[in-house]
Amino acid sequence: MNRTIQLALRAREGLVPALVLAAVASSSPARADVIRQSWPDADSYTYRIVHMPDLDQRRLETETVPGLPSTGRMYCVPASTMNVLAYIATHGFPEVPPEPHNWLDPVYYDLATGNLFLIGGLMSTSPTGGTGLGGLHNALDILLPLETFTYSTYATAGGYTPQFRSLAESAVNGGLVLFTHGWYSEDGMQGDDPIISRGGGHALTLTQAYGGLFNDQVYVRDPADDPPNTSQSAYSERIYAVQNRTVVAHGETRVMSNFQVTPGEWTGRYLDTYTVIRPKAGFSFTDWGIVHLGPIDLWDTSPDSQIDIDAIAQVIDVAIGPDQNYLYYVGRVGASYQLYRANLLTRESTALAVAPVPTEPRITFGRRRTLYQLAGDQLFFINPDRMSWYAVPLPATGEAIGYDDAADEVVVLDAGSRSIFTYPHHLDADAEVLVLPSAGVLPLGDAPVLAWDPFRDAWWVTSEAVDDVFRIKHLEGTWDVFKISHDVLVQPTSVDVDDAGHVFVVAQGGLHEFMEEPGGDWVLVEDSPFAGIPVGRKAGITKSRTNYDPELHDGPQWNNVLPTDFGPVVLDCRGDFDRDGSVGFSDLLQLLARWGPCPRDHYCDEDLSFNGAVDFSDLLAVLSAWGECR
């Protein structure tokens, strides 16, 4: 499963060795760093992660110390992203750039600068304009091990507006979060609502979030809260109150989350983009239950954590929601079929306000957060964020449905006419009809299933009547067809594909993972973390998704702009290993228990002197910090 990509980019000769990415899942142990994690309801959630780096973006170049272009003024996205990548590297995945290091150690300052420059290069970061969403995605596609991690990025677009509580819910649900608050100016009023326009934005890394009746509270790593210099500053958090406000922005009336230095005082900071990075997961279902497989822990590559959700109707089909916080499913209710949404945190199901249908449907999500339901000869467009929907007629009855993220198209397969119908994402044009190859080339059988392959921009098709899985791609009027055959592929009932192009097939009650070797041969992944897990007739694998639209999100108003003021600061408390707000006996005992050399794959939190071991210098540092944190 190893895939190594060497990045030969260099900021300047001798500045930093080439980054090396190996998509290898290490089984090294790590500490449980999410020390607060609860979601009883949306008004009283708690989340806190520790050991998240806080890299400075503003780096001054001197004759002896390398810096960043324009002193790093526009490097908030590379710095916030590197925070998360560095966290992953020190939690079981040491080959992920920038690899495990204690970035507070002055020895690694130049290395951090070089990595920021290289990440900025992958993101096409401009010294004057900053980083666009397309650049962020390009870097994540290269730097993240796609066999193990996915990312989701959603920005304000059309009828969708990111909400802070959705961001916090993703963090409580196991995601690492970086986000952007846009800088907005007020241009007038529309009734009681201010009209605001974006003039830039700034990227941050989430470390804490708390729900409240009147406003929420957020703690962040802000990469720009120190002036340009030649050394890494002490790690700290900035605190903001968060309150929703109705505004007119991007041509629509929206409810946007406002970040406030003083609670209750509106500012020009509004949440408009966030990215969640999390381990790959799977999902399946039985007649009366839904199963969430995983996610893969950051310190254990086996998805032994499993969430079982009791359904309130007989389950027919399941799709993972855009934020990976909800599973949507079709349930049979008497002679009709109803759509439901299951919350992975509360494990509660609620019916969607969409009319039941009399025909057994299939569902899938598009990258723009739209849920599509195929019900016989009807195709439904459903916006679960606004709970609106409509339907269009199909040329024939469809059996399978999928979504092509690259083309932004809904795809319906009709086995009877051996045709594929493709629609634009809004379903606002007639279908393009593509006739499939003959049965001798592509046997379909009854109840076919299909899945989009984001790695190869192709489709995979199978059915119980065929003991093979077929990859199909339409090229200039012809079809390229490729077949995977294997002894385990007996009456397959489901197929899906992850970001790395690995194919997952349900057959004989198990989930089987296949991968393509460099020479083109396909092999069964014997050590797949999903191997041996019993599943129902269908299983899916999470993928990276985004609603990024270059026409909307690449204009000058989406450039990065440095903050002019900051929320209250809280410095990390060195020596407070148990994070109880003071340095005391429990911290001393933890230091003594860690005494000696640090593990190879992780720096030690207790190594306060950065010398690679816990020793008397660290003991003296703890004793000197004894008492309440300041």
Say which residue, 288 or 238, is predicted with more confidence.
238
Residues 173 and 312 reside in one and the same domain: no
Question: At 374, is the pLDDT very low, low, confident or very high (cuts 50, 70, 90)?
Answer: very high
Residue 221 CA, distance from chain mean position:
18
pLDDT bin (cut points 50, 70, 90) of residue 609 is confident
412 within some domain: no
| 211 and 286 inside one domain | no
Q: What is the mean pLDDT of residues 426-453?
A: 94
572-589 pLDDT, tens digit per residue, is: 988 998 878 899 999 999
- DSSP alpha helices (H): ranges in 12-108? 76-89
**pLDDT band at residue 452 using 50, 70 and 90 as cut-offs:** very high
Report, as an integer, the average pLDDT of 456-482.
94
The pLDDT of residue 559 is above 90: no
Residue length, the chain? Answer: 630
Higher pLDDT, 473 or 94: 473
The pLDDT of residue 5 is 26
Coil/strand/helix, residue 459: strand
Instruction: Supply the mean pLDDT for the chain.
Output: 90
In a domain, 499, yes or no: no
**Distance between CA 131 and CA 567 in Å, rounded?**
23
Co-location of 229 and 101 in the same domain: yes
Kindly report, residue by residue over 320-337, the tens digit of the pLDDT.
Answer: 999 999 999 999 999 999
State the amino acid at position 474 in one-letter form. H
d(CA 30, CA 92): 7
Are 220 and 335 in the same domain?
no
Residue 421 vs residue 20, higher pLDDT: 421
Task: Give the pLDDT confidence of 152-201 residue by residue, as tens digits.
Answer: 999 999 889 999 999 999 999 999 999 999 999 999 999 999 999 999 99
pLDDT higher at 313 or 17: 313
With a cut of 90, say whether residue 425 has pLDDT above it: yes
Q: Is residue 23 part of a domain?
A: no
Local confidence band at 600 (pLDDT 50, 70, 90 cut-offs): low
Q: Are residues 116 and 251 in the same domain?
A: yes
Same domain assignment for residues 195 and 253 = yes
Q: Is the pLDDT at 542 greater than 70, yes or no?
A: yes
389-402: average pLDDT:
96
Q: Are residues 288 and 199 in the same domain?
A: no
When divided into structural domains, the chain yields a total of 3
Nearest to 249, CA basis, from 199, 201, 195: 195
Asked if residue 344 and residue 223 are part of one domain, the reply reads no
pLDDT digit string, tens, across residues 31-57: 457 888 899 999 999 999 988 999 999
Token duo for residue 534:
């019993």
Check if the beta carbon of residue 21 is closer than 8 Å to that of residue 96.
yes
Least Cα distance to 237 among 213, 277, 208, 216 occurs for: 208
Whether 470 is in a domain gets the answer no
Q: How confident is the model at residue 16 (pLDDT cuts 50, 70, 90)?
A: very low
Asked if residue 339 lies in contact with residue 311, where contact means CB atoms within 8 angstroms, the answer is no
Least confident piece of the model among 90-99, 406-415, 511-520: 90-99
Q: Do you find a cis peptide bond into 295, omega within 30 degrees of 0?
A: yes
Q: Tell me if 429 is assigned to some domain.
A: no
| pLDDT computed for residue 428 by the predictor | 95
pLDDT at 15 over 80: no
Counting Cβ atoms within 10 Å, is residue 565 exposed (0-12), middle (13-18) or buried (19+)? exposed
Q: Quick one: 204 and 231 in the same domain? A: yes
- State the pLDDT confidence band at 299, using cuts at 50, 70 and 90: low
Yes or no: say if 503 and 495 are a contact pair by the CB < 8 Å rule: yes
Q: Does residue 586 belong to any structural domain of this protein?
A: yes
Rounded to whole angstroms, the Cα distance separating 564 from 24 reads: 41
pLDDT of residue 476: 84
Question: What whole-number distance in Å separates Cα of residue 500 and Cα of residue 542?
Answer: 11
Containing structural domain, residue 287: 282-293+306-349
CATH number at residue 40: 3.90.70
The answer to which of 95-109, 163-177, 265-279 has the lowest mean pLDDT is 95-109
Question: For tokens 């594909």, what's the residue?
Answer: 497
Confidence of residue 91 (pLDDT cuts 50, 70, 90): confident
Query: Would you state the torsion angle of the CA atoms of residues 63, 64, 68, 71, taken in this order, to the nearest 10 degrees?
Result: -60
Cα separation, 342 vs 291, in Å, equals 11
CA distances (Å), 342 to each of 173, 295, 334, in order? 13, 17, 20
Q: Which residue has the tokens 């007629």?
A: 393
Predicted local distance difference test score (pLDDT) of residue 14: 33
Report the relative pairing of strands 4-7 and 19-22 from DSSP bridges: antiparallel
Residue 18: per-residue pLDDT:
32
557 and 597 in a single domain? The answer is no
Whether the per-residue pLDDT at 23 is higher than 60: the answer is no
Q: Which pair of tokens denotes residue 194?
A: 């201010």
Q: Would you say residue 468 lies in a domain?
A: no
User: What phi and psi, each to the nearest 5 degrees, are found at residue 116?
Assistant: -60, -40
Q: What percent of the chain has pLDDT over 90?
A: 77
Segment holding 438, helix H or strand E? none
- Are 200 and 319 in a shared domain? no
**Per the domain annotation, does 535 fall within a domain?**
no
pTM: 0.91
Judgement on whether residues 271 and 289 belong to the same structural domain of the protein: no
